[in-house]
Structure 1
Amino acid sequence: MRKNTRLVKARKEAGLTQEKLAELLECQKSTVSNWENGYSVPRLSDAFRIAEILNKDAKELFFEDLVQDTHTLKVTTA
C-alpha cells in the first residue's frame, strides 16, 4: 500500500475536495480517499476520467511507478 501523492497534489491544484471529485465521478468520497491512500486503485476508465477532470496525464497520476526502466547489463567473461 502506497499513498498516491501525485493524485492528492493534482486534486488540490485543481481546487477540488475529495467530496467534489467524487461527485464529478459519481462515486463515494471514501472511494477517492481509498485511491489517494493506496488502499485501492481506480478502474482504467475511472483513471482516464480523473486525469481528464484534473487536466493531467493518466500515466503521470497512476502508472508512473508501474513502468520499469530496462537496463542492459554488460556481461564479461573471465
Structure 2
Amino acid sequence: MMTRCKMEIHEKLKKMRKQANLTQDNLAELIHVSRQTISNWENGKSYPDLQSLLLLCKVYDISLSQLIEEDVVEMKRTVFKGKLYLFSFLLVSLITLLLVCISLIKHAGYFGFTLAGLSIIAIFLTSWKLEKIKKDLNLSNYKLIRNYLKNEE
C-alpha cells in the first residue's frame, strides 16, 4: 500500500530543482538515485532517506534544517503515531499472554496448551503487523532524520 506523504518537502524539492535548472535525470545522477526516485519524492509518494537528504543539501547548498523545516512537526507526529500503534498492539499481546497463563494454571490440559500455541501465533502476527505499520509509516527513516537534527543542534 503506497501512501502519499502529508509533508511539504515534495513541493520544495521540485521548486528547488527547477530553480537550479536541473532535470530529474541530472539530479538523480548527482545524488546517486534513479530518476523514478526523484519523481516519487516530488510527487509525495515517498520520502528521501537521510543520506539522500544530506546529498540534496550539498547540491542546493542549504542545511538539512532549512530543507525539511516544515516537515519536522509532521515527522514528530508520525513517530508518535507509530509509537501509539506499537504500544496498542503490545498491550493486546500482553493481555492475551496473561489470559493464556491463567488458563494454563486452571486447566493444565490440552486446551491450555492449545491456547498457549494460539497466543504464540497471535504474538507473531502482532509482531508482523507492527513491522508492517513501521514500514507503512516510514518510521525508521523519520527517526533517523529526527535524531540527526537533534545532534546537529
TM-score by length of structure 2 reads: 0.40
Structure with bigger RCO (C-alpha 8 Å, 6+ apart): 1
* Larger CA Rg, structure 1 vs 2: 2
Which of 39, 43, 49 is matched with 2:45 structurally?
39
Matched pairs, number: 68
AA paired with 1:11? Answer: R
Provide the residue aligned with 1:54 in structure 2: 60
Which of 23, 28, 46 is matched with 2:29 structurally?
23
AA paired with 1:29? Answer: R
CA distance in 2 between partners of 1:62 and 1:44 (Å): 11
TM-score by length of structure 1 reads: 0.73
CA distance in 2 between partners of 1:10 and 1:55 (Å): 11
AA paired with 1:61? Answer: L
Please provide the CA RMSD for this pair. Answer: 1.8
Provide the residue aligned with 1:8 in structure 2: 14
AA paired with 2:23? Answer: T
Q: Which runs of 5+ in 2 are unaligned?
A: 75-153
CA distance in 2 between partners of 1:63 and 1:30 (Å): 24
Q: Which runs of 5+ in 1 are unaligned?
A: 69-78
